[in-house]
Each structure stands twice: as structure tokens, then as C-alpha cells.
Structure 1
């Protein structure tokens, strides 16, 4: 009975949690968008039943249209004029500038940021922690470290089992041991506390095999690092 219950829980829990999260997001989007939809454009005004997700769909269409219009000359002029007005408001301009910078950085780096997983020695030598690679150090931080001859990379170190919180750490590139697992597999490993490990090898490795040595040791040696033998 216990084994059957646990097997059923493994099958049902992911499905139930996924449906609950999806439904919660849809309802949250509808609660924000639907109050601003004119009655003549609301599908529920022509039907006798509620249409879940209509607000989310309308919001996505509206954002897409705004993005399309913002690419032409007239749209860019309007956006620039609106930003110039916002920049004159003391408190609002700071919030707007920060939020815009975050979105621009995330969207510009979306092809690489947080899609690679690695290991760093933390919190002390000989102890390894899983991190997500964010991007190369930029701005003043990169300038300071480049003057010292160090190539720094910003990584995100999340705790277990809540990967949304964590620490931003700048690590020398040669001290990061890169992994083949995807960001999704890394998140699963963190959330499960190490219980759900990704399949390995997921794909053939291009690195030569090292007989009698773990693959982590081979990578560490490739980066001129020393790992104590088991």
C-alpha cells in the first residue's frame, strides 16, 4: 500500500501542481486585464459563460501590436517623447530607468544568460556549489578586474530548495567547471536537494575520456586546477 501510494503521488503531484500553477497565472492575468477591456471587445459579453485566459490572450496581442508599432519611425518618436516626459519626474524616472535597464539586459542576453550550469568552490576550497552562468562582468566591475588581469564572470548561486533567491558572485572564468546539463536539469537538482539527478551522459562528450578518473577531475585538470582524489 505504501509503495502504491508513493507511485501514485509521483504521477499525480506533478500534474496537479502544473495545472494549479497554470490556472493561477491565467486567473491573475485575467484579473488585471479584463477590467480595462471595453464591453464590446470582451468575448464574455457575447457568450453565456466565462472564457478563462481571454484577458491573457488580449494582453499578449496588445503587447505584440505595441512592439510592432514601436519599431517604425512614428512609434519610436512617440516612445522617445513619452520617455522624455517620464525622465522629468523625480521619483518615477529612477524607477523607470532601473526597470527598463533590467528588461533590456535580460532580453539582450536571453540567448546565453542562465542557460549554462557550472560548479564553483564554495563556501570553501574542496566544497563545490552549483551555479547558473549569468554573463561576463561588465562596466566598472569588468574594468577593475581587467586592470588586475582577471577575466571575471557573474554567476547566480541559488539555495536549496528555493532557486529564486540566492547570491550574485563574480568568479574568475578559469575557476568555473562547466557542466553539460541544461538549466532545467540544474533547477531540478537544486529543488530536489540532489535527489533528482539528470541522466548522464545526456549526449556524447567531445572531451577525451580519462581512464579511472571522474569526469569532473578531467575538466578541473583541463582548467589547471587540482581536485583532491577520493
Structure 2
């Protein structure tokens, strides 16, 4: 069980991430300072710096959390479940939990604000850095599930990178959709399409990926 201290730290981190994203959507990223985020979350700038090095990191930290939540969800899936079924549900779960509802499209106003934020070069660069930082964790979980060592064989890393790319493609399509569409079903469709073209070697009898 998580201790009180850790729960408080988690709550502060969540409050900072939420405040950073809300202010960026409301004002535009260039008009948001670290001091503004800290004040909105009810902490000092010094406390903010204990959690994040920049406003970009505070916003993209949700991606790190989603990947790590997917890793935990994958490890918790039934061991006899096919790899891509388990991975699809694990990758979608954090998005579904954040969305609250899976069948309602976003408002055009929210999509427009997210599009503007997504076009920020500094934020894109931070997102790429974060993606590389956590991709190894997902590859390790895939390796555990398939019994394939990521250090000896590229299959777990390939699965992790392509699954993350499928989610990224789904989110990009969601941002462009007019009229707006629900995100979660779209992500599931993207991952299922990927699964149909990249076989699970433990299910298909294909040993071309094994060492």
C-alpha cells in the first residue's frame, strides 16, 4: 500500500500537471510561466522545481504516466491472453480512464486548443524526449510476456515502438477529425489494425524473431 507521503507527492504532481495543461490551453503556452502553474496548484515555485524542470516537462509528463500505466496494465493482464489483445487493452486503458467516457467526441473548441498546443516546437521536442525515455519500459514488459529478451532480440522493442506509434497516429487523426470523433474507439481500432499485420510469435509458430 502506498504511504501517505507518497500519496501527497503524487497529488501535488497531478495538480501541477493539470494546472500546466489548463493554463496552456486557456492562455497559450507562451503566456504561461512556471510561477503561474505553481500558484494555480497552490504551491511555491521552489516546490514546482522539485517535480519538473520546465513547463514543457509538466505538460508532457502525462505521456510518461500513460506509458507507465500501460506497462502496469500489461503486466496485470491474464497470462494466457494473446499478446496483441493484452497490449491493445493495456495501451487504451490510461486514455479511457482519463476520458471518463469512451463514446463522446470532444468539443470543437477543445480540439482547436489542443491543436494549437500540439504545434508548439518546444513541446514537440519534449514529447520526443519523453517517448524515448519510457519506450524501454514497455519493451521490457513485452519481453516478459513473450519470454524474449529485449537485449538479445529486437522483437519486444519493435512491438513497443510500433504500438506507441499506433497510439500516436490515432491521437493525430483524432486531432484532425472534422467532425470530432471519440478518441478511445479510434485508438483501439489503430492497435487492432497494427496487430493484424504484426504477428505474435508465441501464437503463430513463427520463430523468425527469436534468438
TM-score normalised by length of structure 2: 0.28
Q: Name which structure has the greater RCO, CA cutoff 8 Å, separation 6+.
A: 2
TM-score normalised by length of structure 1: 0.27
> Which structure shows the higher helix fraction?
2
Bigger Rg over Cα: 1
> Which structure shows the higher strand fraction?
1
